[in-house]
Amino acid sequence: MSTSTSLSLENHKLISPPATGPLERLRMAARRGTTPPPRISVPDWADRFRKLAREAGSTSGDWRTSTVEIARGPMLAVTEPGVHVLTVMCCTQLMKTALLENVFGFFAHLDPCPMLLLQPKEAAAEQFSKERIAPMVRTTPVLRKLVGTSKTRNADETLLFKAFPGGFLALAGAGSPDNLARRPIRVLLSDEVDKYPVTREGDPIMLAEERTATFGANWLSLRACSPTVEGESRIEKSYELSDQRQASVECPHCQHRLFLDFFRHVHWEKKDGQHLTKTARIWCEACGVAWSEGDRLRALRTVRWHQARAFECCGERQNPLDTYERSWRDGAADPIATAWDWWSGDRWAVYRARCAHCGCRAVDNTHAGFQGGKLFSPWPKDKPSDIAQKWIDAQGDEDRKQAWWNTQAGRPYRPNTTKLIAVDALAARAEHWVPGVVPDGVCVITVGIDTQDYRLEAEVVGWGRNEESWSIAYEVFDGDLSQPGTVNALDHFLKRIWLRADGRGFEVMAVCIDSGGHHTQAVYEFSKKRLGRRVWAIKGESARNGQRNPVWPAKRPTTKTKAAFRPVIIGTNAAKDTVTRRLGLTVLEGQAAPAGYMHFPADRDLNYYAQLTAERIVTKEAGGRKYRVWEQIQGRANEALDCRVYAYAALCGLLQMGLKLNQRAEEAARSIRPPKQDAAATQEGGPIAGKPVRILAKKPAARPPATDAAAPTAHSMPVEVVIASPLPAPAGRRSLLSRFGRK
């Protein structure tokens, strides 16, 4: 087999002709000294043998494939003659996990062999073993008898190794190549493939697939994931290399087959600019009838899968879906038959693409790919009206839009982040509120601190509903944390109670302080003494592969001993994705700010915004996989961005600890009283005018046109600030402006 490592996912072994037929199978079986497996399919196996834990309210403990009919196709492909690779790119909670479970059960019971199940990390592999494999084995009698019994139990029988007579299931994290290079395996199950790292040795799936080499005739590799970002998603790339199967269902009113598509088939009423998503239905493109929910569920029972990959035959490039569309619009008697051939046996069933001219089967099935979204889900929470509402809710928010495409449509998302955000446009949208005063929408305050060699920079960020945020203050401290003066100044600053206009005080709830650079120990000492106040020493991840780890690690930092004090490693790539996306959000005229919107006070200058946008995303390639990393634009300082990333990480840390942000925001909003005469005036850097001030919180000032950036905008407050001529700094501390004002 090939030893080259610069291959795409595909080049590997697929050139050898697939061996099929009962004779070959018997020969292989005889060679292994086993009897040939009974000829049933994976869904038939599950219907006959698999049992489910009886949940409250459920009447049966039997598995029924027909409950989620869309999942039958991928399961059938496991025993479809010729298929060696299976790619399943789908929305969440539709067919992926059940497929992995049933394939494991089928092979362990009927066709035992060495199997490997990959998860992105070892912890995820353990979790899958505990939460998926173990309960399935426990409730399914035929498996309970075979898997992990005393007969087969041996020294390495663990969470990550399940033995059964004639084979085993090993579970491993894709990040450790050693795990991938040990034993030969026949069936490879790769779950969550978009989260796999690229290791020094190459792509984990390729490495693992090389281990199937000894099973020349009947190896199988299954790759499954919800897609992520277009052009980088591993599952998307794998699907593109497959025969690209799409699912159709039959209209209960006219028997026309529809390839359900949200934008094409789901429609709802609009009234006075309002989207009445409750009225969202699937409309048949052929007979024009809107389906009731009962119609939809009836239609879902008629799912069939079709090879949809474009091909060339008889001197013409043909796209099966286009051929079908033309044919039914032309009124052909059997439009399906012009594009596909129904090919089925006792354990497979699929519409094979056919040439419209010569009728040959034009698309190879060695690699069977499946793609599907929530429109095929039978669950009540996935009704078209729910999907439509999620779509409306996601508008204006790149994060939620990506989530919608990935988890609802089961398709990769084309991101909007590559366009650079104009610095002057950001400056122009700054809002006027009294510096240092907490805007009304705020309920939680965090601080992010960037550590430089001879100075510290800190941003105080107020957070509100749906992570809407207000930059409350930005401070620069000369010196470093080995100097008592600097320690005291910073400590004093972090203890400050920030006041809302009505006098309510807010403490800083969490702080993230950068421990990279030359003062690591001093930062550790500083935060160690203040852990009770949630002053956390952090370090940005070194994810050179463009990995997207969670902003705040899922595992809580171990606090074994004080000596073993370690910084929290934060997912800076993901944090920068989010911050940059949010910088691109805008408030539409007359509407509330969207989720995650970032408000800035008018006392920041252009340099501040230049720092916030000092990094851009670049696409790189390694091991045949594209990935995106953040890179500093040459000659641009980026402290302001780092501070915001750390303040956001602190919020993520709080959320991880159980903070209920929106609940708190509501509580904070309820407590707002009419402004107190002397409230804001009692604090440092209070209002310039003695008059009570109502803070602009929910409704930012209308955005002036960019050309007017330097002119004061109309506002209700007597604040003498324009963007270009900042306030004087409070005595005793250096203002951020002296820094940003510098070239």
357 binds Zn ion (CB under 5 A): yes
Among positions 7, 159, 286, 569, the unique one binding Zn ion when judged by CB under 5 A:
286
Among positions 7, 52, 122, 253, the unique one binding Zn ion when judged by CB under 5 A:
253
Stretch that binds Zn ion, among 67-75, 241-249, 279-287, 617-625 (CB under 5 A): 279-287
317 binds Zn ion (CB under 5 A): no
CA-CA distance, 441 to 463, in Å (whole number)? 8
538 binds Zn ion (CB under 5 A): no
Stretch that binds Zn ion, among 235-243, 256-264, 343-351, 506-514 (CB under 5 A): 256-264
358 binds Zn ion (CB under 5 A): yes
Question: Least distance in Å: CB of 312 to Zn ion?
Answer: 9
Question: Least distance in Å: CB of 354 to Zn ion?
Answer: 8
Question: Least distance in Å: CB of 305 to Zn ion?
Answer: 20
CA-CA distance, 725 to 721, in Å (whole number)? 7
The one-letter amino acid code at 393 reads D
Vertex 559 angle, CA 556 and 565, to 5°: 110
In sequence order, which residues have a C-beta less than 8 Å from that of residue 441 and are 6 or more positions away? 462, 464, 465, 468, 470, 665, 669, 697, 698
In sequence order, which residues have a C-beta less than 8 Å from that of residue 89 and are 6 or more positions away? 224, 225, 226, 227, 235, 236, 238, 239, 369, 370, 371, 410, 411
251 binds Zn ion (CB under 5 A): yes
Nearest-CA neighbor of 602 among 469, 417, 429? 429
Question: Least distance in Å: CB of 337 to Zn ion?
Answer: 15
In this structure, the strands spanning 161-164 and 367-372 are: unpaired
Total of chain residues touching Zn ion, rule CB under 5 A:
12
284 binds Zn ion (CB under 5 A): yes
What is the H or E stretch that residue 568 is in? strand 568-570
CB 540 within 8 A of CB 450: no
310 binds Zn ion (CB under 5 A): no
Rounded to 5 degrees, φ, ψ at 90 are: -150, 170
In sequence order, which residues have a C-beta less than 8 Å from that of residue 377 and are 6 or more positions away? 68, 70, 91, 93, 94
473 binds Zn ion (CB under 5 A): no
Among positions 77, 85, 313, 387, the unique one binding Zn ion when judged by CB under 5 A:
313
Sign of CA dihedral 380, 385, 387, 390: negative
Question: Least distance in Å: CB of 143 to Zn ion?
Answer: 43
Vertex 111 angle, CA 110 and 114, to 5°: 135
Stretch that binds Zn ion, among 86-94, 337-345, 352-360, 671-679 (CB under 5 A): 352-360
Stretch that binds Zn ion, among 123-131, 286-294, 400-408, 471-479 (CB under 5 A): 286-294
Question: Least distance in Å: CB of 315 to Zn ion?
Answer: 8
Cβ closer to Zn ion: 253 or 636?
A: 253
CA-CA distance, 394 to 463, in Å (whole number)? 20
Stretch that binds Zn ion, among 305-313, 384-392, 518-526, 720-728 (CB under 5 A): 305-313
Cβ closer to Zn ion: 355 or 645?
A: 355
Question: Least distance in Å: CB of 339 to Zn ion?
Answer: 13
Token pair listed for 305: 């899968």
314 binds Zn ion (CB under 5 A): yes
249 binds Zn ion (CB under 5 A): no
Cβ closer to Zn ion: 1 or 287?
A: 287
In this structure, the strands spanning 85-90 and 367-372 are: parallel
689 binds Zn ion (CB under 5 A): no
Site of interaction with Zn ion (CB under 5 A):
251, 253-254, 256, 284, 286-287, 313-314, 355, 357-358
